[in-house]
Amino acid sequence: MDDAYTPTLEDFAFTDSEMEVITAALETEKPWDWKAGDERDETVKIIKKKIETFHLGRHKDQCCYCRRHLGGAGYFMIDREHVLPKSVGAFRLLSFEIWNLGVSCKRCNMQYKKERIDFVIDQADEGARKSSHNYRLIHPNFDNYEKHFDHYMLQKNGVTLQKFTRLEGSAKAEYTYDFFNLRGLEVGSFDEAQGVAQQHQGLGKGALEARSLAEDFGQ
Ligand SMILES: [Zn+2]
């Protein structure tokens, strides 16, 4: 399997003692939230941290859906994201499958993705779960984000520019853009910055800075 990210999925492995705990957790109703109530609780924490560190590494400390920078963001901003939701019966046993996990920001996970599964084309086909083709959105592990979007993000003092350019012919880019309302994250868009600059004489410092930044981006 081609993997667009490093470390690759194949580089990841649980230790024997971690697998023991995972096996016990999977026998419960909510494996991901399972608390062993003994010293194995520490192993559960280590497992979750290990998953988070691994996926942050693959996505260069960014949300796998909106590219928000999560480096050092901590518990209140970062979600270990289950692509096929762990709360949906058929997917419960995938709670610790590294290919079904990613790291996202709270906004993408809690506000938009939630427990939706309509982005899965064939929900019953178990054999298709590890295939990019079975997902309408950009999968954090089976799709290369940069083949679907050019993401621009620039901050300078009080000015922010952010844009998601959907690459031509990418249905996944269109779908992901709508699914996560990425339009709502585009601020001081390059076109707008220039438009404002052209409409008004005597621009504020912020608008001038935005225009200058946009020019730096060749927009
Ligand atoms: Zn996000």
pLDDT digits (tens, 9 = 90+) for 16-40: 999 999 999 999 999 999 999 999 9
Nearest by Cα to 67 from 58, 75, 59 = 59
- pLDDT for res 206: 59
- Separation of alpha carbons 188 and 208, rounded Å: 12
Calculate the CA dihedral of residues 146, 60, 45, 21 and round it to 10 degrees.
Answer: 50
Query: Cβ(143)–Cβ(167) under 8 Å?
Result: no
Tell me what the mean pLDDT of segment 98-118 comes to. 97
Q: How far is the CA of 117 from the centre of ligand 1 (A)?
A: 17
Residue 75 pLDDT class (50, 70, 90 cuts): confident
Bridge partners of 62?
Answer: 69
**The pLDDT of residue 213 is above 90:** no
pLDDT digits (tens, 9 = 90+) for 34-43: 999 999 999 9
- Separation of alpha carbons 176 and 182, rounded Å: 8
Tell me what the mean pLDDT of segment 134-148 comes to. 98
Q: How far is the CA of 30 from the centre of ligand 1 (A)?
A: 24
Q: How far is the CA of 182 from the centre of ligand 1 (A)?
A: 9
Q: How far is the CA of 39 from the centre of ligand 1 (A)?
A: 34
- Separation of alpha carbons 172 and 182, rounded Å: 13
